[in-house]
Structure 1
Amino acid sequence: MSDTSLTIDNILAPALTLCQVPASSKKRVLEFIAERIHYQDETLNDNDIFNNLVSRERLGSTGIGQGIAIPHCRLEGLDRVIGVLMTLAEPVDFDAIDNQPVDLVFALVVPKEATSEHLELLSQLAERFNDSAFCERLRKCQDADSLYKGMTTDSQ
């Protein structure tokens, strides 16, 4: 993985962009992410993904504030970066730094050895989600298609 041109646009697939996901807790959000990734690629074990996401959360919440979370983890044996974008039907407590519940989630699962790519993508996400007007547009999306377009065509 020496491709330094990784962007949010080329790691997010329409099939992993989900609108108004019903989730009652942070744990359920992480389970849902793992299940969706496994559903997209059955060679990836949903329990491994879930456990890695949970381990990362134990180090400190990935709730970055303003109702946004960027759960992420590294995965042994993965050969590409996977992004999952979702809005939640109801905000859930994510132990975010500002104690606000989360309703906008972008999960990132990266190959175990992709350190610089991982950090670069987290930086891109943080920068994009720092734009409150951009986040508001995503929250207003009523279906996965408009959510996907909202995330990928708004490169700044």
Structure 2
Amino acid sequence: MTDTTLTIENILAPELTLCRVPASSKKRVMETIAEQIQHRDETLSDAQIFNNLVSRERLGSTGIGQGIAIPHCRLEGLDHVVGVLMTLEDGVGFDAIDNQPVDLVFALVVPKEATSEHLELLSQIAEKFNDRAFCDHLRQCTDGETLYRQMLAESH
């Protein structure tokens, strides 16, 4: 890692920005995240990613309220941070702090060693999602490309 300042732009790829994903449960959301990451990098194990996300979730829900969740985990053998942004077709129960169903998900998978970068990114993402108008714009997107552009447009 040469560049220590990670931004959403550095970690989010258009291929990992998905719009209106059908998901019936929190478990299905986690499976989709793992499948998408593995699909993009076949050296990674979707089962491992899924298990790590679920293990982290058991420590406490990553549903931060207002329909938003930021599931995250560390992954052995990963050398860069991977972000996945998804809007869900329908809100799913996520045991969020306000008990609202989640329909906006930003997942972060970071190298096992990453610590401060990981926390910095989580706070950047949480801060962006604190802006209701921003979240509404994301929810209104109808395709991944628009969603990707919207996420980055407002990160400057």
Give, in whole Å, the separation in 1 of the partners of 2:50 and 2:134.
Answer: 28
Letter in 1 for 2:143: D
Which position in structure 2 is the counterpart of 1:119?
A: 119
Letter in 1 for 2:23: A
Give, in whole Å, the separation in 2 of the partners of 1:33 and 1:130.
Answer: 22
Unaligned stretches of 5+ residues in structure 2: none
Which position in structure 1 is the counterpart of 2:90?
A: 90
Letter in 2 for 1:111: P
Unaligned stretches of 5+ residues in structure 1: none
Identical amino acids, percent of aligned pairs: 77
Deviation per CA, 1:99-127: give whole Å up to 9, x if none.
Answer: 00000000000000000110000000010
| Backbone CA RMSD of aligned residues | 0.7
Return the offset for 1:2: 5.1
Which position in structure 1 is the counterpart of 2:51?
A: 51
Give, in whole Å, the separation in 1 of the partners of 2:141 and 2:42.
Answer: 29
Which position in structure 2 is the counterpart of 1:3?
A: 3
Letter in 1 for 2:79: D
Give 3-state SS (helix, strand or coil) of 2:94's partner. Answer: coil
* Aligned residue-pair number: 156
Give, in whole Å, the separation in 1 of the partners of 2:62 and 2:75.
Answer: 17
Deviation per CA, 1:65-93: give whole Å up to 9, x if none.
Answer: 00000000000010000000000000000
Return the offset for 1:23: 0.2
Give, in whole Å, the separation in 2 of the partners of 1:63 and 1:155.
Answer: 21
Deviation per CA, 1:3-22: give whole Å up to 9, x if none.
Answer: 32100111000000000000
Which position in structure 2 is the counterpart of 1:138?
A: 138
